[in-house]
Amino acid sequence: MKSHWLSWGLLVLSYATYGQLLHNNDSNQLMWYTALAFVVVQAGVLTFLWQPVRDFLLKGFKTDVGYSIMVLALASLAVVAVTQLRTFAYLVVLIAAALLVRVDCLINSMGDRWSFITLVLLSLIGLGLSWLPTLLFQGAEFTA
């Protein structure tokens, strides 16, 4: 079994920095729940749902209606990328880091279940680490 500490560390670090973005923007609980849902959905798409999502995207480009819908979706994504560049860049990094971990899981011959658990746990560890400065500074305020 090979050590994949670099890709795993990058995923944890990317989610920790994304969590700091949420802290710095004074995000409400809905944003945190959305981030947790993103973790689970992303891990699911990269493991259990990979084949159905891939088939859906490939079939979408085979018909005129599907092609039109895909073009509109990509245009909408481009608008979001331009208007919310910083958040979009964070999301691209999160997806890239998760893909890297998934590739390492495939190289390591991990099944979909273990890959899903690995992706979710590493992401949640990263989000949890983003709470450390907040909790430490709150603790320092109470003791001072």
What pLDDT score does 1 carry?
52
pLDDT, the chain, mean: 85
Query: Rounded to a whole number, what is the largest CA-CA distance in the chain?
Result: 66
What pLDDT score does 102 carry?
92
**Is the pLDDT at 144 greater than 60, yes or no?**
no
- Separation between Cα atoms, residue 116 and residue 106, nearest integer Å: 12
- Separation between Cα atoms, residue 140 and residue 126, nearest integer Å: 22
- Separation between Cα atoms, residue 127 and residue 96, nearest integer Å: 17
Question: With bands split at pLDDT 50, 70 and 90, how would you rate the model's confidence at 139?
Answer: low
For residues 43-53, give the mean pLDDT.
85
For residues 93-121, give the mean pLDDT.
91
Does pTM surpass 0.75? yes
Lowest mean pLDDT among 15-19, 97-101, 106-110, 116-120: 106-110
What pLDDT score does 95 carry?
92
Check the CA dihedral 22-98-70-35 and report its sign. Answer: negative
3-state secondary structure of 76: helix
**Is the pLDDT at 104 greater than 60, yes or no?**
yes
Residue with the larger pLDDT of the pair 26 and 92:
92
Question: With bands split at pLDDT 50, 70 and 90, how would you rate the model's confidence at 98?
Answer: very high
What pLDDT score does 122 carry?
94
